[in-house]
Amino acid sequence: MKKRTLGNNGLEVSAIGLGCMGMSFAYGQPMEKKQAIDLLQKAFERGVTFFDTAEVYGPFTNEELLGEALAPFRKEVVIATKFGFKDGVAISGLDSRPENIRAVAEASLKRLRTDVIDLLYQHRVDPNVPIEDVAGTVKDLIKEGKVKHFGLSEAGVQTIRAAHAVQPVAALQSEYSLWWREPEKEIFPVLEELGIGFVPFSPLGRGFLTGKIDAATNFESGDFRNSLPRFSEENRKANQNLVELLQSIAGKQNATAAQIALSWLLAQKPWIVPIPGTTKLHRLEENIGATSITLHTDDLQQINDALKNIAVQGDRYPAHLQKVTNR
């Protein structure tokens, strides 16, 4: 597996990481523990060294899962986790008060069975707590040896600059894929200027860009995609043209639509590290395979030209969740 570096302080990770949320949370029935541990360990065996979790995934169970699964090779992997919600429950609201950050960090250390968190993100920007206080608290945790690197998620330009001035930000994690390109407009120039890495979550459009989801797909009752406007039956049907574009290019490359979508992300900037999630070994291997695909200039041009004529239908979140993004 090729490596990439996030930020200016030498945080080296595999070119593709593993988003672990779906093993415990949000996509229907959680994986059985034994199967999840096996998948995490097989990811490491195949070269993945970057694992993404958060206290809210479960809540708490996903961190515990990673702690157990990655313990045998803890020093060889980078674990990223997050704080920022009240009582570790997203629907309870935001909470980035310094005392909560400290409490979450201590609890995460125990669940992850480690003495240091490699990358600690603020999960969402809290408008009630100055970002300078948030960055300052993480800076103190770094000085104490409990955290190595500081990250932000779904933060806007002003927040990124203000946080970075207090404690260098190693990475920004936000949604980014062929069907959500918003970060390119204002965020990318700032990240490049400040030397901050970018970690796209949902790089496969929550599975849609794999080509395995269509208008007839039925999600489990506990799958949060049931509540997302972009995944309404009507919008899934309308957005198939984007998948067809990926499949046409995949055919020429002897690849899959998912691999083309990930390869496109990797081609955008050398400091981008996507974290696709999966619960299946063959999907994990498929995603890893994207690192060995090279999209040529004409492929990238074909994609960019086609995207100009493709208007993605449907918001990425329901209205009540839109307000906690990009502050």
Cβ neighbours of residue 30 under 8 Å, at least 6 residues apart? 23, 24, 36, 61
Q: What pLDDT sits at residue 145?
A: 98
The single residue listed with the structure tokens 């120039």 is 189
Number of domains in the chain: 1
Q: Which two tokens stand for residue 90?
A: 């997203």
20 occurs within a structural domain = yes
**Structural domain that includes position 153:** 3-205+269-293
Task: Give me Rg for the CA atoms of the chain.
Answer: 19
Tell whether omega for the bond before 276 is within 30 degrees of 0, i.e. cis: no
In a domain, 311, yes or no: no
Dihedral angle of Cα 115, 89, 169, 325, to the nearest 10 degrees: 170
Q: Under a CB-based contact definition with an 8 Å cutoff, are residues 40 and 72 in contact? A: no
- Residue 327 included in any domain: no
pLDDT of residue 320: 72
Q: Which two tokens stand for residue 229?
A: 């406007």
DSSP per residue, 208-250: GGGT---TT----TTBGGGG-GGGSHHHHHHTHHHHHHHHHHH
Low-confidence residues in the chain, pLDDT < 50? none
- Contact status, residue 157 vs residue 187, Cβ threshold 8 Å: yes
Res 317: pLDDT: 87
Give the span between the Cα atoms of 294 and 306, in whole angstroms.
19
Hey, which residues are catalytic here? 57
Distances (CA, A) of 284 to 143, 194, 298: 36, 32, 28
Among candidate residues 274, 276, 266, the one with its CA nearest the CA of residue 299 = 266
Helix 131-143 vs helix 157-166: crossing angle, to nearest 10: 40
Let me know if residue 280 belongs to a domain: yes
pLDDT value at position 324? 54
What is the domain-level CATH number for residue 23?
A: 3.20.20.100
Look at residue 216 and tell me if it is in a domain: no
Residue 312 domain flag? no
Amino acid identity of 81?
T
56-93 as b/e: b if 16+ CB within 10 A: bbbbbbbbbbbbbbbeeebeebbbbbbbbbeebebeee
Whether residue 313 is contained in a domain is answered as: no
Residue with tokens 């034994």, as numbered in its chain: 34
Domain membership flag for residue 19: yes
What is the pTM assigned to this prediction? 0.96
